[in-house]
Amino acid sequence: MATMTVAKAINEGLRATLNNNAKSLLMGEDIGALGGVYRVTDGLLKDFGPDRVVDSPLAESGIVGTAIGLALRGYRPVCEIQFDGFVFPAFNQITTQLAKMHFRSSGKLTVPVVIRIPYGGGIGSIEHHSESPEALFAHTAGLRIITPSNAHDAYWMIQQAVECTDPVIFFEPKRRYWLKGEVDTENPGPASDPFKAHVLREGSDATIVAYGPLVPVALAAAAAAAEDGHSIEVIDLRSISPIDFDTVEASVRKTGRLIVAHEAPTFGGIGGEIAARISERAFLHLEAPVIRVGGFHMPYPVAKVEEDYLPDIDKILEALDRSLAY
Amino acid sequence: MGSTQLPTPRINGAGQQFLEGTESGDPATGMVQLLGPDGTLGTDPVFSDYAKRLEPEQLRGFYADMAKIRRFDQEATALQRQGELALWVPLTGQEAAQIGSGRASQPQDYIFPTYREHGVALTRNVDLSELLKLFRGISNGGWDPTENNFHLYTLVLAAQMPHAVGYAMGIQRDQKLAEAAGSNDPKAAVLAYFGDGASSEGDVHESMVFAASYSAPVVFFCQNNHWAISVPTEVQTKVPLFNRAKGYGFPGVRVDGNDVIAVHAVTEWALEHAREGRGPVLIEAHTYRLGAHTTADDPTKYRGSDEETEWRGKDPLDRLEKYLRAEGLADDSFFDQVKLDGDELAAYVRRTALSLQAPDIHDAFAGVYAEPHPLVAEEQAWFRTYEAGFESEEEAGH
């Protein structure tokens, strides 16, 4: 067991990957000497050299496009997109090429590319640096999307992403990069399957589903609700595509109430998908409509008002009150 | 300009003189040409040496390939007109650019085509009937790209270009390891095709930046067929396309794309350059799409027939036939046999295309992910039950 930040855990996970898999390599803007703008790749260029840790030209489509070519040649590239809002120049390569290569080749080609994207707000940054575009990718078949919320998961999930034969988008909750946690580098324990949701807190009155940066917020909301006598179950979704509906459904069958929280706008988002699926699977077990807590239908606002935009403990408690009042 | 400004002193052929050219509509002057439209063989300070390596058997082979692929193109067009293909993308007019470049590649090289490289597919021994699967709605691919190192067609323009560079970066790493291990395996390069229209896409620019930065062993082969559907090359570029290579810092050569001997020579040179670790090359093959962009297109809406007539005078097959006959390298019996072979290929392709069976939707479910996926499994299971519902209704006599 070691205590480390989420950023360090990803760094150590990447180091383990580079050590264990000779075909793996990292590529992205400023990931070499600088170690990435969040220092997630710090020290890796020095230890693995420029053939394995590739500082790329400043071109996102080029990064993902060349990663696809490297994967076709048998490599396992891990691309870093510097910020969430800068992934869109690569959107074409990700959705029309990466996601479809296995499908259009009838399974003859695989493209095990991992795309790391720091996402989400709450760091007081400027435009295009605080977005949560996961639903845009989740809508595309052929991609897998996972997001850790803590250091232990981060350490294991990045390695599992590289081992996966399918392309994986690895969303990193950037405002939790500095969150410290215990990491067991010997044994993944319950983190052995990156596509399974985790029940982090058991409860009987309602379920909160969250992922990535909002997991600590959901846990804090559950703790606050407990003070008012409510027993709240908290699920860390971990995987956004596929979604572990079995775990969510089992929880809802027990609690009868479901809140889904994410930073991304609620309209057309992951919360809506979960609400619809759970309505289909457990309609007669629901005591209240599934309630979503998320961003407004607006571009991510300026930093000085982001606290009004972002889901927080109070917004989740307000949703819980509405659910429990049914 | 002097050759010292180029990354390699070996580029001192005719192509080099026109690195300074400024007119995108430059006629054929200045580009590398060995076999003229009248069938006479000229010389070039660099590329004649490559042409001299060609045996008569190879020259006859070039002709046979070009004739075959033109016949195939006619048959596929006919199949579309008869409703057997949803669409066809004709290549007629571009046979020399495709056969010349494809025949210059080695088996260990890897090819990234656009969607019109039927001639290159032939040179890579792809079963041509498999090219029709995409256009008949049977498959989004159609062949195993790893069998002949011929990638699937890519329909999103220029999207294959960064793939080609990434693949070349993989080759670089593989070769470094192989050399360290004392391997004598032949070196490989990547040949990436695109067109004058796609040259405007950002992915072409980004791929050239990456290729230059890492000295990737890739040859960018642009078939400038002068028309991106209805838009002429002049709208895509104000300088000759091969000149753009200079801006990226690697050699660019313009070649007469209807001269199979010159195309072969230039491509052979460029692939050697790349395999030897001297970085990328851009080739612009000056050619012409004699037919429509696709069978859904109508060129009479945007270009005059006089232009087409002019290019028919530069036909790639005619000029090689003249040369082969004049040199006594082929006679009527050869050309008769080529025609018979073409008809046989056409019959085979037609027969095979018509026998292609539609796949099962369950094959589509199986292709979405390489590893098991619960949502796909759930939807497939639902669909099986849904299908079975109809079957049991039929059994019950409804």
Give SS3 for B281: strand
The more confidently predicted of residues B390 and B29 is B390
Tokens of A299: 């571009």
Residue A138: name the closest of A262, A273, A244 by CA: A273
Residue for token pair 């032949």? B186
Detail the DSSP E strand segments found in chain B. 110-112, 190-195, 218-224, 227-228, 231-232, 252-256, 281-286
Q: Report CA-CA distances (Å) from B261 to B10, B47, B56, B123, B311.
A: 19, 9, 12, 15, 18
B204, burial (CB in 10 Å: exposed 0-12, middle 13-18, buried 19+): buried
Domain identity same for B238 and B369 = no
Q: pLDDT exceeding 90 applies to what percent of chain B?
A: 89
Domain identity same for B267 and B294 = yes
A260-276 residue pLDDT tens: 999 999 999 999 999 99
Residue type, B63: Y
Tokens of A251: 């929880």
How far from chain centre, in Å, is Cα A14?
A: 16
Residue B396: partners with Cβ closer than 8 Å, 6 or more residues away: none
- How many degrees, rounded to 5, is the angle at CA A83 between CA A80 and CA A84? 105
Phi, psi of A92 (to 5 degrees): -60, -50
In the predicted model, what is the mean pLDDT of chain A? 98
Catalytic-labelled residue, pool A102, A129, A198, A230? A129
The conformational region for residue A49 under phi > 0 = left, psi -120 to 50 = alpha, else beta, is left
The stretch B109-127 carries a mean pLDDT of 98
DSSP class of A303: G
B120-170 residue pLDDT tens: 999 999 999 999 999 999 999 999 999 999 999 999 999 999 999 999 999
The stretch B36-49 carries a mean pLDDT of 95
Cross-chain residue pair B374–A242, CB shorter than 8 Å:
yes
Asked if pLDDT for residue B20 goes beyond 50, the answer is no
**Could you tell me how many residues make up chain B?**
398
Among B166, B176, B209, the residue with its CB nearest the CB of A68 is B166
Cross-chain residue pair A69–B375, CB shorter than 8 Å:
no
Asked if pLDDT for residue A47 goes beyond 60, the answer is yes
- B138 at A interface, C-beta within 8 A: no
Looking at beta carbons, which pairs linking B344-350 to residues 24 or more positions away fall under 8 Å? Answer: B345/B68, B345/B71, B345/B72, B345/B75, B345/B128, B346/B71, B346/B72, B346/B74, B346/B75, B348/B129, B349/B72, B349/B75, B349/B76, B349/B128, B349/B129, B349/B132, B350/B75, B350/B79
Separation in Å, CA of B353 to nearest CA in chain A: 18
Among A64, A105, A164, the residue with its CB nearest the CB of B152 is A105
Count of CB atoms within 10 A of residue A290's CB? 24
Residue for token pair 């097959």? B317
Q: What topology is assigned to A198-324 in CATH?
A: Rossmann fold (3.40.50)
Domain identity same for B366 and B313 = no
Tokens of A240: 């956004």
Set of chain B residues whose Cβ sits within 8 Å of the Cβ of A68? 162-163, 166
Q: CATH code at B347? A: 3.40.50.970
pLDDT band at B395 (very low <50, low <70, confident <90, very high): confident
The stretch B311-336 carries a mean pLDDT of 98
Residue B131's Cβ-side half-sphere holds a number of Cα atoms within 13 Å equal to: 32
The stretch A246-270 carries a mean pLDDT of 98
pLDDT band at B9 (very low <50, low <70, confident <90, very high): very low
Tokens of A121: 């707000």
Count of CB atoms within 10 A of residue B27's CB? 8
Domain identity same for B327 and B376 = no
Among B145, B206, B366, the residue with its CB nearest the CB of A65 is B206
DSSP class of B58: H
Among A62, A108, A109, the residue with its CB nearest the CB of B210 is A62
So what CATH class is A2-192? alpha beta
B378-393 residue pLDDT tens: 999 999 999 999 987 7
- In this prediction, residue B394 carries a pLDDT of 75
- Cβ pairs bridging A and B (under 8 Å): 141
Set of chain B residues whose Cβ sits within 8 Å of the Cβ of A73? 166-167, 169-171, 174
Cross-chain residue pair A62–B146, CB shorter than 8 Å:
no
The stretch A150-178 carries a mean pLDDT of 98
Q: pLDDT exceeding 70 applies to what percent of chain B?
A: 92
Whether omega for the bond prior to residue A242 falls within 30 degrees of 0, making it cis, is yes
pLDDT band at A6 (very low <50, low <70, confident <90, very high): very high
The stretch B277-285 carries a mean pLDDT of 98
Nearest-Cα residue of chain A relative to residue B137: A104
Domain identity same for B284 and B378 = no
B303, burial (CB in 10 Å: exposed 0-12, middle 13-18, buried 19+): middle
- Our answer to whether residue A129 is catalytic in this structure is yes
Phi, psi of A20 (to 5 degrees): -90, -25
pLDDT band at B219 (very low <50, low <70, confident <90, very high): very high
Give SS3 for A126: coil
Count of CB atoms within 10 A of residue B236's CB? 18
- In this prediction, residue B26 carries a pLDDT of 37
Domain identity same for B373 and B225 = no
Rounded to 10°, the helix B95-104/B56-81 angle is 130
Euclidean distance between CA atoms A225 and A232, whole angstroms: 7
Domain identity same for B274 and B389 = no
Nearest-Cα residue of chain A relative to residue B172: A51
Domain identity same for B339 and B387 = no
Set of chain B residues whose Cβ sits within 8 Å of the Cβ of A77? 166
Set of chain B residues whose Cβ sits within 8 Å of the Cβ of A66? 162-163, 165-166, 169, 207, 210
Euclidean distance between CA atoms B109 and B151, whole angstroms: 11
- In this prediction, residue B396 carries a pLDDT of 73
The stretch A113-124 carries a mean pLDDT of 98
- In this prediction, residue B392 carries a pLDDT of 78
> Which residues constitute the domain of residue B383?
362-395
The stretch A11-37 carries a mean pLDDT of 98
- B201 at A interface, C-beta within 8 A: no
> Containing H/E element for A69?
helix A60-72
Q: What is the pTM of this model?
A: 0.95
Domain identity same for B47 and B184 = yes
Residue A235: name the closest of B73, A255, A225 by CA: A255
Phi, psi of A26 (to 5 degrees): -110, 145
Euclidean distance between CA atoms B134 and B142, whole angstroms: 6
Nearest-Cα residue of chain B relative to residue A75: B170
Nearest-Cα residue of chain A relative to residue B205: A62
Phi, psi of A119 (to 5 degrees): -140, 165
pLDDT band at A211 (very low <50, low <70, confident <90, very high): very high
Separation in Å, CA of B82 to nearest CA in chain A: 26
Asked if pLDDT for residue B208 goes beyond 80, the answer is yes
Domain identity same for B237 and B269 = yes
Per mean pLDDT, which range of A312-321, B12-21, B31-40, B85-94 is the poorest? B12-21
Domain identity same for B367 and B335 = no
Residue type, B5: Q
pLDDT band at B23 (very low <50, low <70, confident <90, very high): very low
- A37 at B interface, C-beta within 8 A: no
Cross-chain residue pair A93–B162, CB shorter than 8 Å:
yes
Among A65, A107, A109, the residue with its CB nearest the CB of B366 is A107
Q: What does the DSSP assignment read for B257-274?
A: TT-HHHHHHHHHHHHHHH
Asked if pLDDT for residue B76 goes beyond 50, the answer is yes
Would A2-192 and A198-324 be classified into the same CATH topology?
Answer: yes
Separation in Å, CA of A300 to nearest CA in chain B: 27
Domain ranges of chain A: 2-192, 198-324
The more confidently predicted of residues B251 and B14 is B251
Cross-chain residue pair B202–A107, CB shorter than 8 Å:
no
**Looking at the 3D structure of chain B, how many domains does it have?**
2
- B54 at A interface, C-beta within 8 A: no
Tokens of A307: 């606290």
Give SS3 for B300: helix
Residue A233: partners with Cβ closer than 8 Å, 6 or more residues away: A199, A201, A202, A203, A204, A206, A207, A208, A222, A251, A254, A255
A86-111 residue pLDDT tens: 999 999 999 999 999 999 999 999 99
- In this prediction, residue A110 carries a pLDDT of 98
Report A:267-306 residues touching B (Cβ under 8 A): none
pLDDT band at B184 (very low <50, low <70, confident <90, very high): confident
Asked if pLDDT for residue B10 goes beyond 70, the answer is no
Set of chain A residues whose Cβ sits within 8 Å of the Cβ of B146? 108-109
Among B152, B202, B209, the residue with its CB nearest the CB of A57 is B209
Asked if pLDDT for residue A194 goes beyond 50, the answer is yes
Tokens of A93: 């390569």
Report A:56-115 residues touching B (Cβ under 8 A): 56-57, 59, 61-62, 64-75, 77, 89, 92-93, 96-97, 100, 102-110
Domain identity same for B387 and B328 = no
How far from chain centre, in Å, is Cα B86?
A: 21
